[in-house]
């Protein structure tokens, strides 16, 4: 069971996290939701299309103009408060690695801190515990925020992913973060080349089956932590298919289907409606969801 905000998600319930970039220079939408009105329209459409989580980010992941913690907070805090007011049942996530920003958005009503840079600021987990919100524990290969990997190597990339993400999760529980509010993320593209991200996807079943051993997690009946994948239009998709950013949707959806079959639960995406159909189809094939309509051969 995953509990975030006032929502509960069953073990086989796929969850869509819609991306809302509060940046003027995001790699995908180039600032389309930087202003309040289009950003709120994006939230409304994402919820209508089936997103349960809205992930709000105030700094683009890649290199670019410096964004201070104050500016990041200015871009996100008021928007979080407005989304909370307009959409009381949606789970609000904020993509940040800074504890100062995490504290401010939690005060404004955030339910989840998406730490995409893998605990580079250890105080962010303390904020999650103090405000009783969820935490995403990500593998980022130990790189500094907003830097690209350079000749990165791993003896075993999946083993490193498990070591880091489960270690971050165990520390979070020790600090007081609820176990049912923690997700782990292999961190596609973050601190990885394309082959690393492909291998992480291919072996995702090892991650979705992993049960942390510390802090009593391995008691009888314990289940693995839910896995979040952030695949949407990323470079590893583009390099694999040799496609520019705007032509990566099909590759993203194919990777989404594989990840769903291997047990990932939460999907951070740009294309919500298309992802919903993919996830519903995989869930039906797996036997976790009945067909929406079943008339063929019955009339």
Mean pLDDT (whole number) for 142-161? 95
> What CATH number has the domain bearing residue 59?
3.20.20.20
Mean pLDDT (whole number) for 223-251? 97
Question: Would residue 294 count as lying in a domain?
Answer: no
User: Inter-axis angle of helices 194-202 and 249-261, to 10 degrees?
Assistant: 40
Q: What is the pLDDT of residue 31?
A: 76
User: How many structural domains is the chain composed of?
Assistant: 1
Domain ranges, residue 176: 2-285
Q: How confident is the model at residue 32 (pLDDT cuts 50, 70, 90)?
A: confident
Question: Would residue 293 count as lying in a domain?
Answer: no
Q: Summarize pLDDT for 222-234 with one digit per residue, the tens.
A: 789 999 999 999 9
Question: Would residue 296 count as lying in a domain?
Answer: no
Q: What is the pLDDT of residue 213?
A: 64
User: Structure pTM?
Assistant: 0.95
Question: Would residue 299 count as lying in a domain?
Answer: no
Question: Would residue 290 count as lying in a domain?
Answer: no
Mean pLDDT (whole number) for 206-220? 70
Question: Would residue 271 count as lying in a domain?
Answer: yes
The helix/strand/coil state of 18 is strand
Question: Would residue 210 count as lying in a domain?
Answer: yes
Q: What is the pLDDT of residue 214?
A: 53
The pairing of beta strand 2-4 with beta strand 7-9: antiparallel
The helix/strand/coil state of 183 is strand
For residue 217, the 8-state DSSP code is T
């Amino acid at each position: 069971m995953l509990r975030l905000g006032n929502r509960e998600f069953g073990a086989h319930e796929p969850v869509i996290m819609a991306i809302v970039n509060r940046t003027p220079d995001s790699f995908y939408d180039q600032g389309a939701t930087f202003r309040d009105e289009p950003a709120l329209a994006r939230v409304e459409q994402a919820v209508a299309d089936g997103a349960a989580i809205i992930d709000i980010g105030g700094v683009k992941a890649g290199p670019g103009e410096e964004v201070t913690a104050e500016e990041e907070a200015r871009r996100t805090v008021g928007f979080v408060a407005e989304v909370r007011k307009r959409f009381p049942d949606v789970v609000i996530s904020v993509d940040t690695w800074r504890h100062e920003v995490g504290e401010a958005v939690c005060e404004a009503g955030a339910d989840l801190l998406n730490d995409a840079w893998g605990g580079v600021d250890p105080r962010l987990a303390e904020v999650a515990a103090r405000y009783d919100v969820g935490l995403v524990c990500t593998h980022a290969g130990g790189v500094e925020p907003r830097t690209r990997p350079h000749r990165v190597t791993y003896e075993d990339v999946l083993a490193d992913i498990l070591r880091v993400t489960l270690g971050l999760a165990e520390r979070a529980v020790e600090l007081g973060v609820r176990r049912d509010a923690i997700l782990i993320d292999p961190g596609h593209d973050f601190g990885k080349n394309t082959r690393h991200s492909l291998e992480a996807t291919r072996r995702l079943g090892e991650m979705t089956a992993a049960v942390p051993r510390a802090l009593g997690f391995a008691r009888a009946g314990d289940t693995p932590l839910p896995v979040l994948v952030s695949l949407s239009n990323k470079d590893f998709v583009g390099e694999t298919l040799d496609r520019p950013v705007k032509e990566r949707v099909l590759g993203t959806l194919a990777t989404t289907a594989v990840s769903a079959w291997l047990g990932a639960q939460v999907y951070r995406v740009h294309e919500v409606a298309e992802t919903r159909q993919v996830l519903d189809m995989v869930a039906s094939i797996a036997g976790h969801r009945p067909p929406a309509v079943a008339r063929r051969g019955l009339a």
